Amino acid sequence: MINCLDNGVHYTGLIMQFNIGTVVIGESVNFAGHKEWLTEAGIQIIDLNDANCIALMHRFIQKSPHIWLEDIGECDLA
């Protein structure tokens, strides 16, 4: 599986449920997901730590924090 960011809870569960053996992520600087859950389950993680991915996500988070927070489940629904 290839993902631009470190995996959140949803994708981590999906990876484990479908026994995906290797996950390639573009970067884990802007969002530290749950790599430890995957490695503990024997899943290989390849973190490219790509400067372009890091910069792209940083710009997106700065320009659209409301969308980012909703995406990672930290939105205020009140």
Q: Specify whether the CB–CB gap between 68 and 60 falls below 8 A.
A: yes
Residue at 27 is within a domain: yes
Residue 78 has pLDDT above 60, yes or no: no
Q: What percent of the chain has pLDDT over 90?
A: 44
Backbone angles phi, psi at 72, to 5 degrees: -95, 10
**Domain count for the chain:** 1
Minimal CA–CA distance to 1: which of 29, 25, 27?
Answer: 25
Residue at 47 is within a domain: yes
Residues in the chain: 78
Residue at 78 is within a domain: no
Residue at 48 is within a domain: yes
CATH number reported for the structural domain that contains residue 56 in this entry? 3.40.140.10
Backbone angles phi, psi at 5, to 5 degrees: -120, 165
Highest mean pLDDT among 7-21, 26-40, 43-57: 43-57
Residue at 9 is within a domain: yes
What pLDDT digit, counting tens, does each position of 47-75 carry? Answer: 999 999 999 999 999 999 998 888 887 87
Over range 20-26, report the average pLDDT: 91
